Amino acid sequence: MHTRQSISNQLKDKVIFYDFETTGLNPYTDHIIEIGAVDNINETFSQFCSYDGNLSEKVTQITGITDEILSKSGIDCKKAIINFINYINTYSEVCDNVIMIAHNNDAFDELFLRFHIQKYCSNLSLPKNIIFIDSLRMAQLTLTHMKYFSQPTLCKYYNIENQHAHRAVYDAETLQKLFSVIVSRFYQKFGSSDFRFIKNKLQNPFLN
């Protein structure tokens, strides 16, 4: 069992790989229907969010998530977001940074997360030492021999198997494996794998 002292002795940063499945691509009008995450102490988070509407055939086809699944297993989205914030905040005070990594984070996952926090629980907050990293942007900057950078494309290229693609917790666990390749290439190219360096490099790739 992990304790704050054991985490403090073991980790510099808490690293969370996370993924959302949603009803669409617009964080302002679409809804989160599944949250999945895994961190670097192998604690996972997986919850379905209930949804008042009916899922489109396209969403069900892509994710395998049905109205019946959400009706039986989904919890209120506000409660799911609160639970996820608590998961993120656990041990955050004994780590230097909390690193949140998602594939297409900047254009998708972080937008959904922040909007849903504002919508459902603006009284709660993310850790002050949080750093968001977009592994897709890292791949674009680093894997210059590639033309396409979706997670399934990169996984196929690097022989990383995901038998349950587009299911949040499985995508997060797969990203954890893929990230080890991306960050290794990043280090080879730029000489550092420090998360603050990575963030700064992504924001301004022309800085030395």
What is the tens place of the pLDDT at every residue in 5-47?
655 556 789 999 999 999 999 999 999 999 999 999 889 999 9
136 located within any domain: yes
**What count of residues does the chain have?**
208
Write the CATH number for 175.
Answer: 3.30.420.10
pLDDT for 48 equals 98
Q: What is the C-alpha to C-alpha distance for residues 183 and 174, in angstroms, rounded to an integer?
A: 14
Q: What is the C-alpha to C-alpha distance for residues 17 and 44, in angstroms, rounded to an integer?
A: 9
Which residues span the domain enclosing 20? 4-203
Tally the domains of the chain. Answer: 1
The conformational region for residue 192 under phi > 0 = left, psi -120 to 50 = alpha, else beta, is beta
Q: How confident is the model at residue 166 (pLDDT cuts 50, 70, 90)?
A: confident
* Average predicted confidence (pLDDT) for the chain: 93
Q: What is the C-alpha to C-alpha distance for residues 31 and 186, in angstroms, rounded to an integer?
A: 33
Q: How confident is the model at residue 208 (pLDDT cuts 50, 70, 90)?
A: confident
Token pair for 23? 């009803």
